[in-house]
Amino acid sequence: MEYKPIKKVISGNYAAAYAARDARVEVVAAYPITPQTSIIEKISEFLANGEVENLQYVPVESEHSAMAACIGASAAGARAFTATSAQGLALMHEMLHWASGARLPVVMVNVNRAMAPPWSVWDDQTDSLAQRDTGWMQFYAENNQEVYDGVIMAFKVAETVNLPAMIVESAFILSHTYDIVEMIPQELVDEFLPPRKPLYTLTDFDNPIAVGALGTPADYYEFRYKIEKSMEEAREVIHKVGKEFGERFGRDYSQMIELYRTEDADFVFMGLGSLMGTVKQAVDVLRSEGYKVGAAKVRWFRPFPKEELYELAKNVEGIAVLDRNFSFGQEGILFNEAKGVLYNTDAHPLIKNYIVGLGGRDFTVSDVKKIAENMKGIIEAKKLDREVEWYHLKR
């Protein structure tokens, strides 16, 4: 069948819901939280209108139970999906460890939202990045199209390596903003993403298994190692799946870091998610003004794209890491990761951290331009003015 996309102007949240539908998810267990709600509202509409066949929607009483029910459903053999944000994700935290430890390919959309207090519903990446060590893969979407594509690819990757995956989109900037999304006809999604073949199920009554047993110090260690082996394997799988997606549907995701005009760049901006859309636009403006700059959008934060970062870092003089998040007592989380990766290599560009956009603070092209000026000075001086800059701070 020839690929003819179905174009629709939809929000990031609707893109997530349509992707879940097209991935033929079997069980959705979810709890409402702003700004995630329109994902589960749309899925509920699919059910009400008969657009999905016998999908089981479990309207749980908390996010903790949402993930627990997804774990139960996934262990029973179903393709399970949920969506949440911020406080809800934090409430799920215990179960995030459980999903990966039990090796269940649950897929979740998290809408990045600031953690309270102060109470906030706006964009901030700390909620998802704080789940860094839970054994979930994390994909950051730049736009609504990537939300849709990401969910479908995530199921394929997750079900190959038997680890859960989180697709992350920005509060309001993507979740509630409408844009053209090219959706894939169902038959072609089915070809790309066949039905799940679970490793085990809770349904083999004559040959029963026990899941979630006690692991003594004699065994626990190896279980952890196997998760890491699968994370390493995931890098290859992501590359393959992203390439196949590109060949079939024209949007290539084979690279875990998307490079934009970095070929001859003196320095690059690096970051996650929707803010990189702004950065790309700024790069065009800066290029027209004679700056040799590029953008490096980290698509997959877990597993972390170590090799790709090294290859990039070898060829630039500076990296401006833009973190819409913060780890208190240290620095921006992506910055921290990037420095860690490069320490044991021979690639040591000047690398500076800019803390931007926390709690939905607007971050615009002119902000990127100001940062470019600052970075230009740093590179000329061959020396950082400071390591971490709270860029927007009111003085």
Partner 1 sequence: MAVRKPPITTREYWAPGHAACAGCGCAIALKLATKAFSEAMEEKYGDPNAFAIAQATGCMEVVSAVFPYTAWKVPWVHVAFENAAAAASGIDAAWKKLGYKGKILAIGGDGGTADIGIQALSGMLERWHNVVYLMYDNEAYMNTGIQRSSSTPYGAWTTTSPPGKYSIGEDKPKKWVALIAAAHQIPYAATASIGNPFDFVKKMKKAAKVDGPAFVQVHCTCPTGWKSPLEKSVEIARLAIETGIWPLFEIENGDFHNIKIQSPGGGAKVKREGGKVVAIEFKKPVEEYLKLQGRFKHLFKQPEAIQVMKEQIKAMWKVLGVDVILP
CB atoms within 10 A of CB 192: 19
For residue 247, give the 3-state DSSP assignment.
helix
Least gap, CB of 207 to partner 1 (angstroms)? 9
Q: Which stretch binds partner 1 (CB under 8 A): 35-43, 57-65, 175-183, 327-335?
A: 57-65
Longest dimension (CA), the chain: 72
Q: Which of 50, 213, 382, 386 touches partner 1 by CB under 8 A?
A: 213
8 contacts 42 by C-beta, under 8 angstroms = no
Nearer of residues 73 and 183 to partner 1, judged by Cβ: 73
293 contacts 286 by C-beta, under 8 angstroms = yes
Q: Which of 133, 191, 219, 373 touches partner 1 by CB under 8 A?
A: 219
Binding status of residue 204 toward partner 1 by CB under 8 A:
yes
Nearer of residues 87 and 255 to partner 1, judged by Cβ: 87
Least gap, CB of 125 to partner 1 (angstroms)? 27
Interface pattern 81-100 for partner 1 (x via CB under 8 A): -------------xx--x--
The two structure tokens encoding residue 81: 């999906």
Q: Which of 5, 8, 37, 64 touches partner 1 by CB under 8 A?
A: 64
* Residues in a beta bridge with 6: 183
- Using the 8-state DSSP alphabet, how is residue 388 labeled? E
Binding status of residue 49 toward partner 1 by CB under 8 A:
no
Q: Which of 119, 205, 328, 343 touches partner 1 by CB under 8 A?
A: 205
Q: Which of 10, 23, 68, 378 touches partner 1 by CB under 8 A?
A: 68
- Residue 301 makes CB contacts below 8 A (sequence gap 6+) with 129, 132, 138, 139, 140, 272, 334, 337
Nearer of residues 71 and 147 to partner 1, judged by Cβ: 71
Binding status of residue 55 toward partner 1 by CB under 8 A:
yes
Binding status of residue 345 toward partner 1 by CB under 8 A:
no
Binding status of residue 20 toward partner 1 by CB under 8 A:
no
Across 322-343, b (16+ Cβ under 10 Å) vs e yields: bbbbbeeeebbbbbbbbbebbe
Distance of alpha carbon 312 from its chain centroid, rounded? 20
Q: Which of 10, 78, 121, 157 touches partner 1 by CB under 8 A?
A: 78
- Residue 328 makes CB contacts below 8 A (sequence gap 6+) with none
* Residues in a beta bridge with 56: 27
Interacting residue ranges for partner 1, rule: CB under 8 A: 26-27, 29, 54-62, 64-66, 68-78, 80, 94-95, 98, 102, 201-206, 208-216, 219
